[in-house]
Amino acid sequence: METCSSNSFSHRSISLPTKTNPILHRVEECLAVAKGWQAQPHSLTSNGLAHLKDLFFCTGNFLQMAYSQQALRRKEKFVNQLMDDFLRLLDVCGMVKDSVQQMREQQEALQSMFRRRDQNLHVGISRYQSTRKRMRKEMIKCQQMMKTMEVLAFPSDDCKVEAILRDVKTNTVYVFELLASIISARNPSWSVFSRLLSSKRQNSPDEENINEIERLDAALFAACGQLNKELAEDSVQSAQRLMENLDRCLRGVEDELEGVFRCLINARVTLLNILTCS
């Protein structure tokens, strides 16, 4: 699976007075967990979003500190830029959530057709494939939106609050870039399906590079192609199993996306209040 590079944004260690303030300590812990997750192999799980939600919750507490608010009032340009970026991320979050919801709805319709052995199954598969094409275009838009966000420079005066918020944004962008890249998995082809067949026969590590959505796309592609009856039946059974597993993943992702969406709104409101209630 193609993932976005964690080197898109540079990181640096933030030295915080963790012994004197438990809130700072908790923020640093959440940042460490989020960055540690980035170094692991990824599939379509809600873990990254859950870590992101925890990070925003801790950051919300951090922004309520008088020290944080005083520092940010001297950084109006930075705060305005960050609020603009959070607004773009809200748009991205909404687009990803809509795509996940559409995928689930199409899969539910397909599962019903599979169970009934509907004679028009190929029509349902074609409809799902058309939805996937639209989703790929939407995810490309998401990726382009995130690329337009200006990389926040390191604070020239070594402001800890600014550095922390910069890392929060970096982690948020990373998670959404990863989700967009997974959802916009390559168009299904016989080469992808052949890789799956080959990896299953030979226990090839190549199978690990194909994510859940690609597996389903390839199985449906093969079922619709129907090179022979036996292959088509195997593909249908494989697609049914994959849809059941993927549905559970998508439900978890959808729930976590709703939580992250609320976190982004709360973060923007808090930042706006800091600037306007000085």
Q: What is the mean pLDDT of the chain?
A: 80
165 found inside a domain: yes
* Average pLDDT of the segment spanning 186-212: 49
Is the distance from CB of 100 to CB of 250 less than 8 angstroms? yes
Domain count across the chain: 1
pLDDT digits (tens, 9 = 90+) for 15-40: 444 456 899 899 999 999 988 888 77
Q: Who wins on pLDDT, 52 or 222?
A: 52
120 found inside a domain: yes
pLDDT at residue 3 is higher than 60: no
pLDDT at residue 101 is higher than 50: yes
134 found inside a domain: yes
Distance CA 93, CA 86 (A): 10
* Average pLDDT of the segment spanning 140-167: 80
Distance CA 20, CA 177 (A): 35
42 found inside a domain: yes
One DSSP character per residue, the chain reads: -----GGGS--------TTT-HHHHHHHHHHHHHHHHHTS---S-SHHHHHHHHHHHHHHHHHTSHHHHHHHHT-HHHHHHHHHHHHHHHHHHHHHHHHHHHHHHHHHHHHHHHHHT-TTHHHHHHHHHHHHHHHHHHHHHHHHHHHTSPPPPPPTT--HHHHHHHHHHHHHHHHHHHHHHHHTPPPP-HHHHHHHHHHHHHT-GGGGGS-HHHHHHHHHHHHHH-SSHHHHHHHHHHHHHHHHHHHHHHHHHHHHHHHHHHHHHHHHHHHHHHHHT-
Domain membership of residue 97 as a residue range: 21-147+158-185+254-276
pLDDT band at 193 (very low <50, low <70, confident <90, very high): very low
pLDDT at residue 224 is higher than 80: no
Per the listing, tokens 């930075």 go with 78
36 found inside a domain: yes
pTM value? 0.80
78 found inside a domain: yes
50 found inside a domain: yes
215 found inside a domain: no
